[in-house]
Amino acid sequence: MSIIKVNDLNFKLIINSEQIQAKVREIALHLERKLFQNSDIITLVIMDGAFIFAADLFRCINIEMQPKFIKIKSYLGETQSTEILIDHINIEIFKNKTIIIIEDIIDSGNSMFELVTKLKAASVKEIYLVAMIIKSSQIRSEINVDLFGYNIGPEFIIGYGMDYQGCGRGLQGIYQKMI
């Protein structure tokens, strides 16, 4: 078992980099099958966490997509906040477009619910929500996650874009906080 220390917490490896990359290829293949005839695809990458997942997906997908980046903040340290902060985006650029939202992790779903609601108000053609990790037992909002890599429990995780107090984002695997 691989154990690391990040700041004041210990974490154990739960998903290694080979498993992650296999899942990325699988998700990319599903997206290609769904979207192969679509044009006007915009990918909306949720920063900071999803940038690694998005970069890996872009390298695996053979479809032309326009990446856009947005920040949504709902965490303070390892605790999820009730306040959702979404960067200002010009919602008009999404009108009549196919939107692929790329997220690292979906916990409660509140952030994605807010974002999807705004996008639907802009008359988008269709929305696909893609995440590397979901915590289905924690999801409280009515959202549809079209594709995801792994469904895990409520434990706090870092790595592969996800951080703890700004650290651990560059880890190639996904690590769970040890109790």
> Which residues pair with residue 133 across a beta bridge?
105, 150
Note the pLDDT tens digit of each residue in 4-29: 999 999 999 999 999 999 999 999 99
* Number of neighbours of residue 173 by Cβ within 10 angstroms: 18
Q: What is the pTM of this model?
A: 0.89
CA distance 159 to 173: 6
List the CATH number of the domain containing 153.
Answer: 3.40.50.2020
The pLDDT tens digits for 82-105 are 555 566 677 788 899 999 999 999
Q: Whole-number mean pLDDT of the chain?
A: 89
pLDDT at 82: 54
Q: Which domain holds residue 109?
A: 3-177
142: Cβ contacts below 8 Å, ≥ 6 apart = 109, 113
Distance CA 143, CA 113 (A): 6
State the total domains in the chain. Answer: 1
